């Protein structure tokens, strides 16, 4: 199972919106609405910030939103803040009941 | 509230085996799947497999079949990841992560265990 494809980095100024894409196949992202997103700060464990495409866990800022179209999922951060600078990984449940992660995107706040 | 506590760092020689533990008190109430995810230095996350709440079923990523075992000890609420025939590409931080029921999200993570494979 190949990793889902994400851009290596995305940058934006404070207050601006950014969007991270996550492209898979009809056997993972396109098969179910089970896409989740994880934020990872350096030296820390990942933290879930979105699940089932567009559901935010309790306590996660509403500046984060998710969507999906076909085999591509997206995470949007509106009103970028300094603490948003981190690595972001998408993940998808697959048709054979495994999981696959994305390659990861470094978000840089300019 | 389940807190996942993992064992300490390990240094192993190529060809050896390693066991990483993940203590998850109360992980079976409510039933939780425990997943194992690894991250090589400077790299992305890689899903390795999952052990179901009752411990009698595991599902592994294809690349780890035959080399990885996932088990649990119900008396101590501890989950184990065994990885055999280690090579340098297995150098990584290994995480256990909880999926509550069938929610399809990893909502609790251990602190990670660094496994270094070096001669």
| CA separation for the pair A82, A84 (Å, rounded) | 5
Q: Which pLDDT band, with edges at 50, 70 and 90, does A106 fall under?
A: very high
Contact A51 B104 (CB under 8 A): yes
Residue B2 has pLDDT above 70, yes or no: no
Report the mean per-residue pLDDT for chain B: 93
Q: How confident is the model at residue A65 (pLDDT cuts 50, 70, 90)?
A: very high
Q: How far apart, in whole angstroms, are the C-alpha atoms of residue A11 and residue B90? A: 31
Beta strands A35-40 and A18-23: pairing type?
Answer: unpaired
- Average pLDDT on A59-71 reads 97
What average pLDDT does this structure show over A97-104? 96
Measure the CA–CA gap between A36 and A50, rounded to whole angstroms. Answer: 5
Q: Alpha-carbon distance A94 to B30, whole Å? A: 24
Q: How many residues does chain B have?
A: 119
Residues A89 and A4: their CA atoms lie apart, in Å, by: 9
Mutate to test the interface with B, among A56, A86, A99 (most CBs of B within 10 A): A99
* Contact residues for A93 (Cβ-Cβ < 8 A; gap 6+): A28, A31, A32, A34, A99, B104
Output the pLDDT for position B74: 84
Decide if B47 touches A, using CB distance below 8 A.
Answer: yes
- Give the Cα separation of B75 and A85 in Å (integer): 41
């Amino acid at each position: 199972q190949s990793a889902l494809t994400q851009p290596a980095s995305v940058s934006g100024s404070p207050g601006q919106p950014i969007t991270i894409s996550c492209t898979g196949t009809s056997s993972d992202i396109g098969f179910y609405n089970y896409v989740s997103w994880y934020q990872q700060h350096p030296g820390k464990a990942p933290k879930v910030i979105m699940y089932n495409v567009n559901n935010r866990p309790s306590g996660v800022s509403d500046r984060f939103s998710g969507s999906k179209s076909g085999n591509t999922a997206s995470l949007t951060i509106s009103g970028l803040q300094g603490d948003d600078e981190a690595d972001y990984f998408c993940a998808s449940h697959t048709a054979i009941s495994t999981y696959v992660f994305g390659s990861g995107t470094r978000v840089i706040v300019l | 509230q389940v807190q996942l506590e993992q064992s300490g760092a390990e240094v192993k020689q190529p060809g050896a085996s390693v066991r990483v533990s993940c203590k998850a008190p109360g992980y079976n109430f409510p039933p939780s799947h425990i997943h194992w995810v690894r991250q090589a230095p400077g790299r992305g996350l890689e899903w390795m497999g999952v052990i179901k709440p009752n411990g009698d079923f595991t599902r592994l990523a294809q690349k780890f079949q035959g080399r990885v075992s996932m088990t649990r000890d119900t008396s101590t609420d501890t989950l184990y990841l065994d990885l055999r025939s280690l090579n340098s590409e297995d150098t990584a931080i290994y995480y256990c992560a909880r999926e509550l029921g069938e929610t399809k999200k990893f909502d609790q993570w251990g602190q990670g265990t660094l496994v270094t494979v070096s001669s």
